[in-house]
């Protein structure tokens, strides 16, 4: 599966362009959510970091990312194992030298890849809030967009070995991921986990007896408005992915949009219901995390599930994310202020698995493989994809970021953390008219 349509119809091309141009709204939404969930004294630095991450990702992807990712049918490094081809890395030229500039399908894939790499790079920012240096997150993003993301994206969307599990080993349609639940969401979320481990928790987050202190976000309006922006971006992301990577027709975009909003809506409602039941009132930040978790989960099966199944996918995602946030904070002592690990990694992994459970290969979707193709073994292909994310991508991204940390320490100094990232790194705060409470600067 995941064969790129060799040529798109004019309608599909036009729709794809519109959809891809919506994707930056997902980035804007994530940036607002992360900013709102952080402290006010780090707001400007976080927005600046988001902008830099998108910029670095675009350049790194242009420089080498697309060459490594490649596309189905294009030259790639292939190893023969047991007589079966295992395509493991694209072998294109750097700086898009091999890309024909008149082939709109390929150029659309380049554009979507650039934005997707930027989106994946934004996700770890939520886990590194209030302590991740601007320069360090740029270097980390360059590694992600130039190597980690393209490598996995080749396996999933570039005709790589995961996509070929169906053709080579009879596992359903091979690994299916319509909108990036694995390559963008889970990969970004696992990188967020690696960064949270490397950076360590914020000062004052955990008491001497290991209990976490509540450090509430500074602007719930940013967070909730970011959720609405993200929905529009996700419509574009999921629809463009389904058309470009799954060979779905232009008409499939409607089903994708319906499934996307249903998944997000049911996830937000289930998160609100769970928090209301447990705490007496619905929690805005956890509901927002649930919404994003629902969006992340929707990316997997958005083009191949029925609407009622999208509701189930969202319901499970909302519950999963809500409990996961608490589990990471309380049990694992992982300080993830933006909930990135729970929303994107857990939501994304669930989205990947949901393809194996729910995918019916709905009419109009996955036309490249044929709607009547056997679905047998699909869940095993999805499970192999999950095993690859946890067993290979997590150690890889952790190792690379540890290496970066050795060369260029990623965590800000204690003084910078007390002072706030805005003043320390940018020299000016996001809200200069705010009154600063002196006790926030007192060394404990």
Using the rule CB under 8 A, is 380 a contact of other proteins? Answer: yes
Q: Which is nearer to other proteins, 298 or 388 (CB)?
A: 388
User: In the bound complex, what is the minimum distance in angstroms from residue 417's beta carbon to other proteins?
Assistant: 11
Q: Report whether 186 contacts 389 (CB < 8 A).
A: yes
Report the Cα–Cα distance between both ends of the chain, in Å, rounded. Answer: 56
The answer to whether 225 contacts other proteins (rule: CB under 8 A) is: no
Give the angle subtended at the CA of 178 by the CAs of 151 and 149, to the nearest 5°.
20
**Based on the number of CB atoms within 10 Å of its own CB, is 46 exposed (0-12), middle (13-18) or buried (19 or more)?**
buried
Residue 77 touches other proteins, criterion: CB under 8 A? no
**Beta pairing class for 84-90 and 76-81:** antiparallel
Site string for other proteins, 168-207 (x = CB under 8 A): -x-x-------------------------x--xx-xxxxx
Site track for other proteins across 263-302, x = CB under 8 A = ----------------------------------------
| Interactions with other proteins, residue window 321-340 (CB under 8 A) | 332-334
Interface residue with other proteins among 390, 400, 423, 426 (CB under 8 A) is: 390
SS3 for 180-246 is CHHHHHHHHHHHHHHHHHHHCCCCCCECCCCCECCCCCCCHHHHHHHHHHHHHHHHHHHHHHHHHHC
The answer to whether 348 and 299 have CB atoms below 8 angstroms apart is yes
Number of shown-chain residues binding other proteins (CB under 8 A): 34
Is the separation of the CB atoms in 155 and 388 below 8 Å?
yes
Which lies closer to other proteins via its Cβ, residue 147 or residue 431?
147
Query: Among residues 281 and 406, whose Cβ is nearest to other proteins?
Result: 406
- Report the nearest approach of other proteins to the CB of residue 16 (Å): 33
Binding test (CB under 8 A) with other proteins, winner from 18, 81, 228, 436? 81
Would you call 162 helix, strand, or coil by DSSP?
Answer: coil
Spatial contact of 160 and 405, defined as CB atoms under 8 Å apart:
no
Residue 331 CB, shortest distance to other proteins, in Å, is: 9
Binding mask 133-172 for other proteins (x = CB under 8 A): --------------------------------x---x-x-
Residue 171 neighbours by CB under 8 Å, 6+ apart: 165, 377, 378, 380, 381, 384
Q: Near other proteins by CB under 8 A, which window of 122-130, 225-233, 279-287, 380-388?
A: 380-388
Minimum distance of other proteins from residue 163's CB (angstroms): 13
CA–CA distance, 129 with 276 (Å, rounded to integer): 27
Element holding 312 (H helix, E strand) = helix 307-326
Pair 443, 419: CB distance under 8 Å:
no
- Tell me: does residue 387 bind other proteins (CB under 8 A): yes
User: Which parts of this chain interact with other proteins (CB under 8 A)?
Assistant: 81-82, 84, 165, 169, 171, 197, 200-201, 203-210, 332-334, 377, 380, 383-384, 386-388, 390-392, 394-395, 398-399
């Amino acid at each position: 599966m995941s064969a790129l349509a060799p040529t798109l119809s004019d309608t599909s091309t036009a729709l794809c362009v519109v959809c891809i141009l919506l994707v930056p709204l997902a980035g804007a939404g994530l940036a607002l959510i992360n900013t709102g969930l952080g402290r006010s004294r780090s707001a400007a630095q976080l927005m600046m970091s988001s902008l830099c991450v998108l910029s670095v990702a675009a350049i790194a992807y242009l420089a080498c990312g697309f060459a490594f990712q490649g596309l189905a049918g294009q030259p790639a490094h292939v190893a023969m194992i047991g007589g079966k081809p295992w395509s493991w890395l694209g072998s294109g030229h750097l700086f898009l030298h091999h890309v024909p500039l008149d082939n709109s399908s390929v150029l659309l894939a380049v554009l979507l890849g650039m934005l997707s790499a930027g989106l994946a790079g934004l996700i770890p920012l939520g886990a590194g809030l209030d302590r991740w240096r601007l320069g360090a997150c740029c270097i980390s993003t360059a590694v992600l967009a130039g190597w980690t993301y393209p490598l996995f994206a080749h396996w999933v969307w570039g005709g790589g070995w995961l996509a070929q599990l169906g053709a080579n080993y009879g596992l359903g349609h091979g690994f299916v991921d319509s909108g990036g639940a694995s390559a963008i969401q889970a990969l970004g979320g696992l990188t967020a986990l690696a960064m949270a481990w490397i950076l360590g928790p914020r000062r004052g987050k955990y008491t001497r007896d290991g209990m976490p202190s509540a450090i509430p976000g500074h602007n719930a309006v940013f967070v909730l408005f970011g959720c609405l922006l993200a929905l529009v971006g996700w419509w574009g992301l999921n629809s463009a992915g389904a058309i470009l990577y799954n060979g779905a027709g232009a008409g499939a975009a409607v089903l994708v949009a319906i499934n996307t909003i249903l998944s997000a809506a049911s996830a937000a409602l289930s998160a609100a219901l769970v928090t209301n039941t447990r705490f007496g009132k619905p929690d805005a930040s956890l509901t927002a995390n649930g919404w994003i978790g629902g969006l992340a989960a929707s990316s997997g099966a958005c083009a191949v599930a029925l609407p009622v199944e999208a509701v189930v996918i969202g319901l499970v995602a909302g519950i999963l994310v809500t409990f996961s946030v608490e589990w990471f904070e309380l049990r694992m002592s992982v300080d993830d202020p933006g909930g990135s690990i729970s929303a994107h990694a857990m939501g994304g992994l669930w989205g990947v698995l949901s393809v194996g459970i729910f995918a019916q290969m709905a009419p109009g979707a996955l036309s490249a493989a044929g709607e009547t193709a056997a679905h047998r073994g699909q869940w095993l292909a999805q499970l192999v994809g999950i095993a690859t994310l946890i067993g290979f991508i997590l150690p890889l991204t952790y190792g690379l970021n540890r290496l970066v940390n050795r060369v260029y320490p990623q965590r800000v100094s204690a003084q910078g953390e007390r002072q706030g990232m805005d003043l320390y790194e940018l020299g000016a705060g996001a809200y200069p008219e705010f009154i600063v409470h002196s006790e926030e600067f007192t060394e404990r």
